[in-house]
Amino acid sequence: MVINHRMPRNEEGIATVAGVLKQQFGDRFQTGDAIREQHGHTTTWLENQWPDAVVFAQNKNEIAAIVKVCATHKVPVIPFGTGTSLEGHVNAPAGGICVDVMQMDKILAVYPDDLSCVVQPGVTREQLNTHLRDQGLFFPIDPGANASLGGMAATSASGTNAVRYGTMKDNVMAVEVVMADGRIIRTAQRAKKSSAGYDLTRLMVGSEGTLGLFSEITLKLQGIPEAISSARCTFPSVDAACQAVMQVIQYGIPVARIELLDALQVKACNAYSKLDLPEEPLLLLEFHGSDAGVIEQAEMFGSIAADHGGGGYASTTSTEERNKLWQARHDAYWATLQLRPGAMGISTDVCVPISRLAECVSHVQKRLKTDGFISPIVGHVGDGNFHCLLLVDMENKDEVARAAAFVSWLNDLAISMDGTCTGEHGIGQGKMPYLERELGAATVDAMIAIKRALDPDGIMNPGKVVRG
Amino acid sequence: MVINHRMPRNEEGIATVAGVLKQQFGDRFQTGDAIREQHGHTTTWLENQWPDAVVFAQNKNEIAAIVKVCATHKVPVIPFGTGTSLEGHVNAPAGGICVDVMQMDKILAVYPDDLSCVVQPGVTREQLNTHLRDQGLFFPIDPGANASLGGMAATSASGTNAVRYGTMKDNVMAVEVVMADGRIIRTAQRAKKSSAGYDLTRLMVGSEGTLGLFSEITLKLQGIPEAISSARCTFPSVDAACQAVMQVIQYGIPVARIELLDALQVKACNAYSKLDLPEEPLLLLEFHGSDAGVIEQAEMFGSIAADHGGGGYASTTSTEERNKLWQARHDAYWATLQLRPGAMGISTDVCVPISRLAECVSHVQKRLKTDGFISPIVGHVGDGNFHCLLLVDMENKDEVARAAAFVSWLNDLAISMDGTCTGEHGIGQGKMPYLERELGAATVDAMIAIKRALDPDGIMNPGKVVRG
């Protein structure tokens, strides 16, 4: 494990708070090892840091009550959804109380006329989409995992559909937040746009639980398109594929998804998902629109692909074929793990301006080869965002150190290309050293000033994003 | 004039700062009455509150130097662009130094491959679009006035194109900001998306100069569409027009513009722009897309319009006809003023969920009639945002009081419908009383905490948005 920062514990405060909450929550207050281990667990190589207790909250007033007790005794509060974050977001470096919101799973309202809805933070995206389907609506953000919407808002998640529909920042209209003093605020009304004061909605989205805990989330919805088609195309090189993507974006083709898989990733997917795709760089696309619109988009893409040496171009409106292909894309993580059984998969998350994408990926492939890592690359390339999944033997200290050096090098490379160390996973614990390199000390100081203003005792998910 | 709040002046500090800046800026430091009057002027009924001096800054280091001197002596700093804001944003209720950024009018970089550019704050939107045209690109936000991009970012402007392209919040990728201590921060790199720390970009956009002064702005651009067409359609009632709009949005027709003019507004436009439109509620639309796409969109709209009693439907791809119609829409403000020469036009700016739009407009029309006001209604109805332009005789105290009562009633009505008192004009001085009614005391307290954290001496555009 990579050892991360520990923070001083307030033992007396923690003991007092535990006593109060046990009294109040009974069976919904848990301190067993298994529960604590699970709630400190993240899909990452960061050391697991358990909370002292887990409380299962059922409504906003309960969250507020927990935060108030913790505020009185200066004890950390860590929110928890599905535990699928990747940068140690739910670790408890100073101990404290984990608030599990997964029992807050009610869809409170759907407004089909306004294309919006209000949900509790424990609703998952698949649950929401199942609920919406009969009304012809869907929520487009798809980070892969069936994450909670609270967690997705907290990390500003995005994923395969972001190229068309944006990220959580673009799709959260308002949040209700329990602040560090236990007060509940609502950041906006339900109008489609507003210039009323500071944009607290977008400040809270992506704040990773360090400024407050979400108790309700108002989301933008989309109508299910009349037609959906998908396409795939193989390219002679990652560079050629990236050039094609750049042209798609410049032409304004409203692709709903445009995903890159490098040759190694295709190989892994073939093996895992029993496909027979040519083991060369591949673009997978999805088009949303009218019947005529998706045909037009697919044709335009086909012609761009041909200009860049694309081959084996195939598009389909068959739901079955489409689902098979996208399921393989979604299973890329599991497919990759099969390439080296027993190894841990460490995901990077850089995002660069699209004009630098081909160059960035090419540098990365070269270095991966030199370093001797097995690491497929998948990318939400329409946004300039791609992930390496480094397969690391965590028992081999030298290899772990080399992997850490690679991650550091890659983050710096992206930053040097006017990009970011994190397109969608967030800072958490794992990327704290890079935030200042990316944005500068004065910018981080402004973030710290905001953190201290809204959370003067530093109890909200401490040790994440910025030091409090 | 409506008398607004005055704040205590720091006479000694102002005198000291004036001495220092005069020395440093020579002719670019001005204290003449005409200049000061012009820089306190806003298109509104709020009392004009002059700054003590105006400095014409030419680069970011000059802005930083001005802010540093003002910070040392605790003197207000007020940014100024084109002076087209509507809620007293550039007034100086405590005096101080106005920083005119209109000499910072350089387009610093255009990245056609990335669909982005970097501009200084004094670049106007028309200047930018003229510059971009040869590269097949445009910046879509169009608030009507040829405002500076700094001002548009400061108020989170939007306008007719927002229904498709979003507001400034969606189109500013990063800002460089001179903070209250004179330090310069950059809020983000140029990647299309990022989860790196708190979203300071969106916090700064819409902060109306109260948290910092913009020195550079990175903007998202769009490719000029292959085809543009426009359409107009008359409806038997505002309600029928609103129902049609709602269906357009629900069907996901990607209209670029969908504007409502009520019968009185059409009448005013006919007279001013020499048109002969039927004097009934009118929807004006614009479609962007491929040749086939815009035809498909226009047909879909035509069929929806027919279902709601729409008549006189006409669509065109002729640039000349389109420009004539949209010029008339842009001149609606001047056309309205002709309805009652000598009166002042007072613009409201509520925005409600689209499902409440018809009801809201209908209440408003009823009350306008009861109150006896001449006030056309125009609306960016695809967003649920509409403006009344009340024509008020400012010499008539009773009428002014009744107009103020109307505005207050309307803001409260929108708030009661889960809407906002300001869709795009901002809070400024004029809407400060409504912010708390809209979002609650705890939310405004969070805004104040952020204001105090980033501007502890309250020197950045004081007396706007929230008390410091």
Question: First-to-last CA distance in chain A?
Answer: 25
Pick among B184, B195, B418 to test the A interface (most A CBs inside 10 A): B195
A331 to chain B, minimum CA–CA distance in Å? 23
Pick among A198, A291, A294, A351 to test the B interface (most B CBs inside 10 A): A198
How far, CA to CA in Å, does A49 sit from each of A14, A102, A392?
15, 20, 21
**Which of B169, B419, B465 faces A197 most closely, judged by CB atoms?**
B465
Q: Determine, for residues A193 and B426 on separate chains, whether the beta-carbon distance falls below 8 Å.
A: no
3-class SS of residue A135: coil
ipTM of this model? 0.97
Give the DSSP letter of residue B139: -
pLDDT digit string, tens, across residues B280-333: 999 999 999 999 999 999 999 999 999 999 998 888 889 998 999 999 999 999
B120 to chain A, minimum CA–CA distance in Å? 18
Structure confidence at residue B41 (pLDDT): 75
Residues 6+ apart with CB under 8 A from B118: B107, B108, B109, B216, B217, B218, B219
Q: Determine, for residues A190 and B155 on separate chains, whether the beta-carbon distance falls below 8 Å.
A: no
Domains and CATH numbers, chain B: 11-102 (3.30.43.10), 107-223 (3.30.465.10), 227-334 (3.30.70.2190), 341-432 (3.30.70.2740)
**Which of A200, A426, A449 faces B443 most closely, judged by CB atoms?**
A200
What proportions of chain A, in percent to the nearest 5, are helix, strand and coil? Answer: 40, 20, 40
Judge whether B248 and B241 are in contact, CB under 8 Å.
no
Q: Determine, for residues B188 and A427 on separate chains, whether the beta-carbon distance falls below 8 Å.
A: no
pLDDT digit string, tens, across residues B344-390: 999 999 999 999 999 999 999 999 999 999 999 999 999 999 999 99
**pLDDT averaged per 10 residues in sequence order, chain A, 468 residues:** 77 98 98 96 84 98 98 98 94 97 98 97 98 97 95 96 97 98 98 98 98 98 95 96 94 95 97 95 96 93 96 89 91 95 96 96 96 96 97 96 97 98 96 96 98 98 93
Which chain B residue has the Cα nearest residue A113? B355
Structure confidence at residue A287 (pLDDT): 97
φ, ψ at A377 (rounded to 5°): -125, 130
Judge whether A209 and A466 are in contact, CB under 8 Å.
no
Question: First-to-last CA distance in chain B?
Answer: 25
φ, ψ at A459 (rounded to 5°): -95, -15
* Nearest CA-CA partner of A392 in A337, A323, A313, A459: A337
Distance in angstroms (rounded) separating the CA atoms of residues A141 and A296: 24
* Nearest CA-CA partner of B225 in B161, B144, B301: B161
Q: Determine, for residues A195 and B425 on separate chains, whether the beta-carbon distance falls below 8 Å.
A: yes
φ, ψ at B292 (rounded to 5°): -70, -35
Q: Determine, for residues B354 and A114 on separate chains, whether the beta-carbon distance falls below 8 Å.
A: yes
**Which of B170, B186, B440 faces A185 most closely, judged by CB atoms?**
B440
Q: Determine, for residues B452 and A453 on separate chains, whether the beta-carbon distance falls below 8 Å.
A: yes
* Nearest CA-CA partner of B452 in A449, A235, A373, A408: A449
Residues 6+ apart with CB under 8 A from B386: B260, B350, B351, B357, B360, B361, B377, B378, B379, B380
Q: Determine, for residues A454 and B449 on separate chains, whether the beta-carbon distance falls below 8 Å.
A: yes
Structure confidence at residue A468 (pLDDT): 75
**Which of B196, B199, B351 faces A422 most closely, judged by CB atoms?**
B196
Structure confidence at residue B467 (pLDDT): 87
Distance in angstroms (rounded) separating the CA atoms of residues A162 and A166: 4
Distance in angstroms (rounded) separating the CA atoms of residues B223 and B230: 18
Pick among B194, B224, B457 to test the A interface (most A CBs inside 10 A): B194
Structure confidence at residue A423 (pLDDT): 98
Which chain B residue has the Cα nearest residue A225? B252
Tell me the average pLDDT of chain B. Answer: 96
Judge whether B287 and B255 are in contact, CB under 8 Å.
yes
